[in-house]
Amino acid sequence: MNYTFTTFPDRFQWFYKKKTMLNKIKFLLIGSPLPSEMLKEKRLNKIRALAAFSPDALSSVAYANQEIFLGLVIAGSSGLVFQFPIAAGISLLLVIVALSYAQTIRGYPNGGGSYVVARENLGEYPGLVAGGALLLDYVLTAAVSLTAGVAAISSAFPQLWPYKVWIALGLLLVVTLLNLRGIRESGTVLSIPVYLFIFTFGGMILYGIIRAIIQGTPTPISYTAPQMIEPLGLLLVLHAFSAGCTALTGIEAISNGVPAFMPPEWVNARKTLIIMAGIMGFLFLGSMGLTQFFAIIPLDQETILSALARQLLGKNLLYYLVQFSTLFILAVAANTSFAGFPRIAAIMAKDRYLPRQLFNVGDRLVFQNGIILLSILTAGLIILFNGDSHALVPLFAVGAFTAFTLSQMGMVFHWIRLKEKGWHYKAIINALGAVVTAITLIIIGLSKFIEGAWISIFVIPALVAIFRKIHRHYEQVSTQLSMHGLPPSLRPWSSPRVVIPISGVHRGMVDAVNFARSISERVTAVFIDIEPGPDEDELRKSWNDWFPDVNFVVVPSPFRSLVEPLLTYLDQTDREHNDGQQAVLVLPEIIPGSSWQEILHNQSADEIKKALLFQRHHQGLQRIIIDVPYHLKK
C-alpha cells in the first residue's frame, strides 16, 4: 500500500503539539523539522559555499603568521628576515595542494576526500589512517580557530584575557547552533563575517602595499627586533616553516563537501577551491610581506596581525574593525570543521567504522549527531588547553598533512587504474602533491614532536584501532542476524505463555490484560509482594472480580526487591513447562500527560526492561517484552 504525505506542518502538526518542553526549546533554537524533499533545496551556491567551507583556510593567516613569527623571533633580526621567504615557500605548497585537490574533486564528485580516496585506492588501513587524521584535524582546527579568534580580540581589549576560555566556549555554542539549523542558514549567516574579513583585511593589505611602494626602502628589521635568544640554524627555520604550514589546514574541506554544492557539483566545487586558494595566498603573502617590510614587532600579549593593523592604520575605528573582523572569521573558521567533520563521520559510519547514529540525518537535514560530537570534543580541548591556541597548534598539522599525503598517493593510483584521457598529467600533479606533503609531514613530525606533535602521532593509530573494533562488532552483529542457515519455513509457536507484572487493579491494566488474552489463553498476572499484609487478600479478590479467567500469582520478596523475584519466577516457570519457549512479558506502562511527570512513573517498568533486555537466556532463547501504554490526561 502506498501512502502520500503532505507537507510536514499539515500532517504531523498533531504530533508536535505533544512535544516535550525539551523539544520546544530545541525547535526554538534550531528551527522546526524539515521534510526530506527539501534536501536538494539546501544545496549551496558558490557564494554561500565559499563562506561555509573556506573560513579556516582564509583565517589561517591569523595563527600561521603568529606561529612563524614566534618561531623566528628567538633568533632576533637574523631569524625574522626569513618571514617572507618561508611564507613564499608555504604559498608554493598551497598552489601544489590546491591543484592536487582540484583533481580529487573531479575524480570523486560524491565527496569523501582523503578517507574515500585512500581507502579505495590504497586499502583499508591507509583509508582508516586518513579518516582518523582528518577527524582529528577537524576537531583541532575548530579549537585553534576559536581560541585564536579570542586572542585577536583580546589584543585590542586586554581586559578580556582572563575570560578567554568562556568567550571561546560561547562562540563555539553559537557556531554549533547555526550548523544545527542547516547548511544554508549557516552559509548565509557566516557569509557576512567571511566577506567582511576579506574586504577589511584585504583592503588593509592593499593600503599597506601602496604605503610600501611610497616608502620604497624596507625598514631594517634590526631597528625593532629584540635581542637574539638562540642562534639561527636550519632546525629553527624548519620549525618556523612547519608551524606556518598550519595555513594549509582546511583546504580539503571543499573536496569533502562536494555533494553540498548546487549542480554541476564538481564544477562549482572546483571553482570555489581555486577562488579560495587565490584569496588565501594573497592574504597570507601580503600580510607576511608587509610585516617584514615594515619590521613589525607586537607588544606584550598582542598578536602579529594586531601589530600590523596598528602600524598601518593607527589605533582608530579602522583598527578595531579589522580586529573584530579577524575575531569573526576565526570564530566561523570553526565552521569549516562543522561542515567537514560530520560528513566524514557519516561516510565512515555508513562503512561501519563509526556508530551508525553518525549517519542519521537530523530534523534540519544535517548530520546533527556529528555536529554535536564535534562540539563536545572541541569544548574539551578548549578547556584542557586553557584556551591557548599556541599550545594547540603543534597538534593539528600532523593530522592535516597525513590526510593530504594519503589522499594524493591514492589519486595517483586512481588515475593509473582508470587511464582516462590525460591521466599522465593528472597522475604527475597528484604525485607532486604527495611528495611535497610527505616531506612537509616529516618536517612537522620531527621539528614539533616534543611540542605536542607526538600526541597526534599516537592518537591516530589509536583511532584506527577503535575503527576496526567498531567494524568487527558490526560484522559480528550482521553474522548473528543473518538468515543464512535457517530453514525456509520456521515452525510456528504454539500459544505462548504470557506473564503480566501488576502493581494493582486499575484502568492502566485493562488494555494490557485484553492484549494478553488476544494472543494467548495461558495468561498469568504476577504481583511481587514487597510488604506482606491484608492488602494482598484484598488485591486478589479485586483481581478475581475483574479478571476471573486470568491466573493470579503472588511472589514474595523478603528483601524488598522487585526485579530479582520476577526474574526468578520467570526462569522457574520456563524450566517447569520445558516447552521450548520463554514466557512473553506484557508490561503495563503509564504515560504521563506532561514531560516533567515522567520521573513520577514507570521506574519499575524501566528496571524490569533493562534487566530482561540484557539478560543472557539459556538455549539461545530470547524473551519477548511488550509495552502496553496507558495515557494519562494533563
pLDDT for 365-390, tens place per residue? 567 888 889 999 999 989 988 878 76
Query: 453 and 557 share a domain?
Result: no
Task: Over range 210-218, report the average pLDDT.
Answer: 92
Query: 150 and 214 share a domain?
Result: yes
Query: 263 and 409 share a domain?
Result: yes
**Left (φ > 0), alpha (ψ -120 to 50) or beta: where does 452 sit?**
left
> Helix 83-107 crosses helix 55-72 at what angle (to 10 degrees)?
150
Domain end position, chosen among 474, 508, 527:
474
Q: Look up cell 586572542; give the residue.
A: 151
**3-state class of 526 per DSSP?**
strand
Contacts 24+ apart (CB under 8 A), 590-595: 590/508, 590/629, 590/630, 590/632, 591/629, 591/630, 591/631, 591/632, 592/632, 593/631, 593/632, 593/633, 593/634, 594/634, 595/20, 595/21, 595/22
Query: 197 and 315 share a domain?
Result: yes
395 is written with which cell numbers? 597538534
pLDDT at 71: 85
Task: Over range 268-279, report the average pLDDT.
Answer: 90
pLDDT at 3: 39
Query: 451 and 549 share a domain?
Result: no
Domain end position, chosen among 404, 439, 474:
474
Q: Is the model's pLDDT at 205 over the cut of 80?
A: yes
Query: 71 and 129 share a domain?
Result: yes
Query: 470 and 501 share a domain?
Result: no
pLDDT at 2: 40
Confidence of residue 36 (pLDDT cuts 50, 70, 90): very low
- pTM here is 0.69
Total residues belonging to the chain: 634
Residue 50 included in any domain: no
Task: Over range 392-416, report the average pLDDT.
Answer: 84
pLDDT at 212: 93
What is the DSSP secondary-structure string of 569-610? HHHHHHHHH-SS--PEEEEEEEE-SSGGGGGGS-HHHHHHHH
Query: 453 and 505 share a domain?
Result: no
Residue 454 included in any domain: yes
Q: How many independent structural domains does the chain possess?
A: 2
Query: 528 and 446 share a domain?
Result: no
Q: What is the DSSP letter of 552?
A: E
Task: Over range 460-470, report the average pLDDT.
Answer: 92
Task: Over range 228-255, report the average pLDDT.
Answer: 80
Domain residue limits at 536: 497-631
Task: Kindly tell me the burial class for residue 98, based on how many C-beta atoms sit within 10 Å of its own C-beta (0-12, 13-18, 19 or more).
Answer: buried
Q: Is the model's pLDDT at 17 over the cut of 60?
A: no
Residue 440 included in any domain: yes
41 is written with which cell numbers? 533545496
**Left (φ > 0), alpha (ψ -120 to 50) or beta: where does 113 sit?**
left
Confidence of residue 14 (pLDDT cuts 50, 70, 90): very low
pLDDT at 490: 52
Query: 381 and 450 share a domain?
Result: yes
Query: 463 and 572 share a domain?
Result: no
Which of 138-142, 228-232, 307-311, 611-615 has the largest mean confidence? 307-311
Residue 9 included in any domain: no
Residue 40 included in any domain: no
Confidence of residue 28 (pLDDT cuts 50, 70, 90): low
pLDDT at 208: 94
Q: Is the model's pLDDT at 157 over the cut of 70?
A: yes
Residue 11 included in any domain: no
3-state secondary structure 136-200: HHHHHHHHHHHHHHHHHHHHHCHHHHHHHHHHHHHHHHHHHHHHHHCHHHHHHHHHHHHHHHHHH
pLDDT at 373: 92
The mean-pLDDT minimum among 247-251, 260-264, 374-378, 600-604 falls in: 600-604
Q: Is the model's pLDDT at 183 over the cut of 80?
A: no
> Domain with 524 in it: what CATH number?
3.40.50.620
Q: Is the model's pLDDT at 532 over the cut of 50?
A: yes
Query: 458 and 501 share a domain?
Result: no
pLDDT digits (tens, 9 = 90+) for 329-341: 877 777 778 877 8
Tell me how far apart the alpha carbons of residues 456 and 445 are, in angstroms, rounded to a whole number: 9
Q: What is the DSSP letter of 492?
A: P
Which of 15-29, 114-128, 497-511 has the largest mean confidence? 114-128
Residue 26 included in any domain: no
> Domain with 376 in it: what CATH number?
1.20.1740.10
Confidence of residue 231 (pLDDT cuts 50, 70, 90): confident
Task: Over range 474-480, report the average pLDDT.
Answer: 77
pLDDT digits (tens, 9 = 90+) for 593-607: 666 556 555 567 777
pLDDT at 211: 94
Q: What are the Cα distances from residue 371, in Å, to 186, 341, 357, 389, 470? A: 13, 8, 12, 22, 20
Of the two residues 373 and 503, the one the predictor is more confident about is 373
Q: Look up cell 566577506; give the residue.
A: 195
Contact between 284 and 91 under an 8 Å Cβ cutoff? The reply is yes
Confidence of residue 621 (pLDDT cuts 50, 70, 90): low
Domain end position, chosen among 474, 507, 522:
474
Residue 344 included in any domain: yes
